Structures are given as structure tokens and as C-alpha cells.
Copies of this chain bind each other. A is one copy, B any other.
Amino acid sequence: MKAEIIAIGSELLTPDRLDTNSLYITDRLNRLGIAVERKTVVADEHNQLRDAFRESLTRADLVIATGGLGPTNDDLTREALSELLGRKLSLNNDVLRTIESRFRRLGRTMSERNARQAMVPEGADVLENSRGTAPGLWLEPDGHVVVLLPGPPHELQAIFSKHVEPRLARLAGDTRLYARELRTVGVPESELDERIAPIYTRYGDVQTTILAGLGEIQIHLRTWSKDGPAAERMLDELVELIKLALGESIFTTNGQSLEEIVARELTLNRATIAAAESCTGGLFSERLTRIPGSSSYFLGGAVCYSNELKTAWADVPAALIEAKGAVSPEVALALAAGIRLRTGATLGIGITGVAGPGGGSPEKPVGLVYIALADAAGFKEHVMRFPGDRERIRWHASQMALDTVRRYFLYAGQGKPRSAGVKS
């Protein structure tokens, strides 16, 4: 079954807005074994809308259109499709009553123009909208399926999961999507692909997509099959081979974030953590506290931008800062050790560097960051040179610091943390 998505709305043709509903829809369709072959964004303009529907119906079995179902004169999706299909559009009293009662529940009066939203093309099924006024519509012209959905994502998703998916599941057959999402940190994209291409290219039934994000690379593995257990076995096998090739740089095989993984390790090991950050400005603490329940392992973070606060909050000796400079491996280690002792945490993290754009020098260029981890037994320290602008450098540094904690637990119970050596 081949699908096309038409996103309707003049605002989607400005520089300010993207159609993101199609990502959700594509994901749900793919799970049903339905591929999306084209996406079109078109303005709220009668003839253009009609033409877009006509063209899509010549190519696709299923056309899903989003938007243009509002109450105003700008919303023309119903009219354009009805004209194309030669179906009469008429007021549906059930829908009208549903809209009226929705307004009553909210203590408001329905305005005249909302009645537009109760207009239904001849022969269309109404898909109830539990979160808004415009219902979805399902039509089956000449053996095709056309679904109209309102644009607001929470309305669209409620209608899709409740009404559209079950209907499509009946039409779509037994094929389903099976997927894995691996994420890695620390291996450059070209090197990663060189290592795993010989593996994944042998799995012709699995669609492999490699996405380079900031400070991590995602490997999406997807396969469609009528035989679930066989598909799962194949994916498991492929994941195992990729793990052999990439080793501990993989931090998840089911799409978790790095902070989730670190949170899990801290929790499993009943460890606590505190951080003293300079150039990252609180980003490490902020990311770790995104996770619900973080107060059980995160004790606190000091954003010590000034030298005085490095001394006051993390007991970094002023003489050390004077002698080595605020951006130095010695100060990173002192921040980690100091914040650990101050807070009584199992682990301390220290981060100091030059995020730029100013403040760089030939010896300490923009992008140079020192990251240190301290536990009761010793220290571990990295020096990294990150590319990009201030935002990217800060993100990379927080990513590297989180990964330092993750790798620490890979060796926990094996004595002193491994020395990581120097990379650049």
C-alpha cells in the first residue's frame, strides 16, 4: 500500500513553520507496513488544493491530508476535495450537535462560523475529534482511501490512533514494522560507517539509516515483515554484529538519551553525583536533571564562572588557578574533587574550557575543554578540542562529560578508573 501526505496551510509555506505532522503519520504508517512515497505542502487555496488531491490520487492508494479544516473562510480542504470527487457537501447534524456540546462544556457559545466544521462530503465517514471541534473524515473514492485530519498535532494524533489506525490495520495486511535504534558517542561518522557498512549491507531486508546528531550518531534499523519473531531475531543478530564492531561506543539499542542511560547507571549503582561547571554554564546539571526522579542521585551543581566561585564552591586553590590558569587540566581535576568532597557525592564532575567566540589564545584556543571525573579512589581526565560555535562546543562538552560517567560504570568495581589518555 502506497501513501502520500498532503500538508495544507499557507503558514507552512513561510520561513517560520514546518509540517511536522508528517513525521508522526509516517511513523504510524510505516509500522503498518505502509510506505510514504511523497509529501506535498500546499497553500489554503481552492484550485491548488484540488489539484494536489487529484495528482496524489493518480499515484497513491492512500492520501492523508492535514490542516485546512478550521472554521474560517481560509479553510478550504473539505470544499476542494468535494469538488474534485463530485460529492455534495452538506451539514451533518450529529457533528453540529457534537461541536455545540463541546462549546457548552467549555462554557462558551458556538459561533456561527463553526457550523462550517459540520459540513461533510457525501459518503464520508466522520472520525470523532475528542480534543477539538473539527472531526476527521474518511472517504473511499474509486478504491482509494482519503483521510482528512485537523492540523493541531494533539487533535490529529488522537483521531489517528483511535480511528485511522484500526481501519488502516484492516486494509494493510499482516506486514508490520520492526525497529531498533542504536546511539553511539565517540566515533566519527565516517569511521562508524566504514566499520558497520560491511555488516548492514549484508542485511538487504533491513533499512539502515545513519543520522549524525550533535555529539552522537544514531543508527536506525527498520524492517517490515509478516513474521514477527523472525524479524526480531534478524534485528537482534544485526544489533549484536554492530555491537561487536562498535563496542562500548554504543550507549543504547532502544533509542534512549545519554542522560537517561547515565541516570540509570547512577541509580543501579546507588551512586550520587555533583558537578562544578565553568564553560558549560550549567548544561551538564540541566541535562541530568531533565530525568524524572533525578533528585535521588543528583545532589547539586555549581556553575562557577568566576575564579572566586571556583574557590568558594569547589575549594579550587586560588594559587592553582593563578599558576595553571582557569582552563587547565589541574583546575578541572580540582573542580571535580572539590565538588565531590563538598557535597559528599560518590562522583564529582569538573568542566572548564573556552566556549568562545572570545577568550581563545594560541595555547588555549576556542573549543578546548577539560573534563574531569573524581571518585573516592582517584581521577580521570580528558582534554578535548571541540569544533563549531559556542552552542555546539557547550553541547559537545556536556555530552563528553555524561559519557565519561557512563564509561566509568563500565569499569566500576574494577578498581581505579581507567586513565583515558589525551585526545584532540
Contact = CB atoms under 8 A, between A and B. Distances in A.
**Majority secondary structure of chain A interface residues (helix, strand, loop or mixed):** mixed
Interface string A23-39: 11011001000011111
Contacts of A220: 14, 16
Contact of A313 (B23, B300, B390): B300
Interface stretch (A80-88, A93-101, A281-289, A412-420): A281-289
A309 B343 contact: yes
A285 B303 contact: yes
Interface in A1-54: 11-20, 23-24, 26-27, 30, 35-43, 48, 52
A14 B209 contact: yes
A24 B30 CA distance: 29
A304 interface: yes
Nearest to A312: B342
A211 interface: yes
B26 A37 contact: no
B300 A302 contact: yes
A12 B23 CA distance: 9
B289 A281 contact: yes
Interface string A234-247: 00000000000000
Interface string A373-408: 000000000000000001100100000000000000
Interface string A249-292: 00000000000000000000000000101001111111011101
Q: What 3 A-B pairs come out closest when comparing CB atoms?
A: A281-B289, A282-B282, A15-B27
Given A14-B30, A286-B286, A295-B359, 19 more contacts: A12-B39, A15-B24, A16-B218, A16-B220, A18-B18, A18-B20, A38-B42, A55-B55, A277-B282, A282-B289, A282-B301, A283-B286, A292-B356, A294-B305, A295-B306, A300-B303, A300-B309, A303-B303, A309-B343
